[in-house]
Amino acid sequence: MSRVTISGTGAVSPAGWGVAALMEMLRSGVKAEDSMVERKTADDRLIASPVARVPKLMDKSLLPKNPRLRRTSPIGKFAAAAAFEALGPERLAAAQAGEIRVGVICSLMNGCVNYSNRFYGEVLGDPAFASPILFPETVYNAPSSHLSAILGSMAPNDTLVGDGAEIFTALEVATEWLLRGDCEVCVVVAPEEIDWLSAEAVGLRSAEITPSEGAGAVVLELDGNGPTLLAIPDPVSYSELGDRTEALRKLRGEFSVDEESTLLADSRIGVAWVDAIEDAVFGDWKGARISTKSLLGDALGASASLQLVAAVEMLKAGEAEQAMVTSLGGNEQAGGCLLGR
């Protein structure tokens, strides 16, 4: 039977643009710097929320110019840059020349909040002057649509909306497409952008959590070069068990691994009460363990994709024989996958 392999990775994060910047931050253990998102209230009070933003793009080669990206909000640019890096220049050129069929799947939670904010702000301010140009950029499918158009793709395109563990469902769908022959290559990307509303919402959960943004992307194909996707169990729904701890415990039971040679890439963020469930379920873990959110902040739907990218890169570097990537979603599910060298 064909192997589903991950043959490319891409990342945009508060560490910088590119996978190299992400891995450098993770290996240094230095947390991303905070900046502020501000808004004025109706009574002229200023409310400031700390966030970890993606830094300004300095190397323009990481995001080639394209008319499709001229008016997109940050989430579209993050998705494109991560996907282009994961595909690589040769595969990208082959896709645009129509030589390979590239499927595209975006998974996200928050979506295109910056342009939604602008558009509905204009509608509320004066509907006669609300720009119709902005409206297409407010929908969840905008990043995925732009990406397929840039690639000239005639293969399937989908956007999955869920909580922080939704990317594992995206991996399942990508696997189905490849095995069914719907595409030769599938890029799965999970982008998010930050604004004042989402920043304040995260702050209401805990002032110790830093909201962030970015995107992680992986390219899947059959029998390619790169780590193998060994298992993607169905996510465990909280509605099934009614308890997040039991959901995560059930997910762990779906994997049969030698823990001493397996890397665990979890979704802990460095806040004790938030991490209590993962600490309880994985407190006896015997192998190596990384928690990317503790350095990068909470990028909502993008966080698990950055965990996935980091795990793939560590496998490629020979730092483990296998990697188990897990995410305790906020309100829907616990999800994960198992990768092997």
Q: Tell me: the pLDDT tens digits for 41-56?
A: 989 999 999 999 999 9
pLDDT digit string (tens) for 13-69?
Answer: 999 999 999 999 999 999 999 999 999 898 999 999 999 999 999 988 889 888 889
Q: How far apart are CA 260 and CA 115, in angstroms?
A: 46
Instruction: Examine domains 4-226 and 229-340 and report if their fold is the same.
Output: yes
- Parallel, antiparallel, or unpaired for β 333-340 and 236-237? antiparallel
Question: What is the fold, at CATH topology level, of the domain defined by 4-226?
Answer: Peroxisomal Thiolase; Chain A, domain 1 (3.40.47)
Q: Which residues pair with 188 in a beta bridge?
A: 105, 218
Rg (CA), the chain: 19
Distance set, CA 133 to CA 57, 119, 136, 247 (Å): 25, 9, 7, 43
The domain locations on the chain are 4-226, 229-340
pTM check: above 0.85: yes
Contact 8, 189 (CB under 8 A): no
User: Out of 3.40.47.10, 3.40.50.300, 3.40.190.80, 3.90.226.10, which CATH number does the structure's domain 229-340 have?
Assistant: 3.40.47.10
pLDDT digit string (tens) for 158-213?
Answer: 999 999 999 999 999 999 999 999 999 999 999 999 999 999 999 999 999 999 99
Contact 262, 42 (CB under 8 A): no
Q: Which residues pair with 36 in a beta bridge?
A: 50
User: Which region among 5-9, 130-134, 271-275 has the lowest average model confidence (pLDDT)?
Assistant: 130-134
Give all strands (DSSP E) within 81-172, no chain letters.
102-108, 157-161
What pLDDT is recorded for position 85? 97
Helix, strand and coil in the chain, % to nearest 5? 40, 25, 35
The average pLDDT across 104-112 equals 96
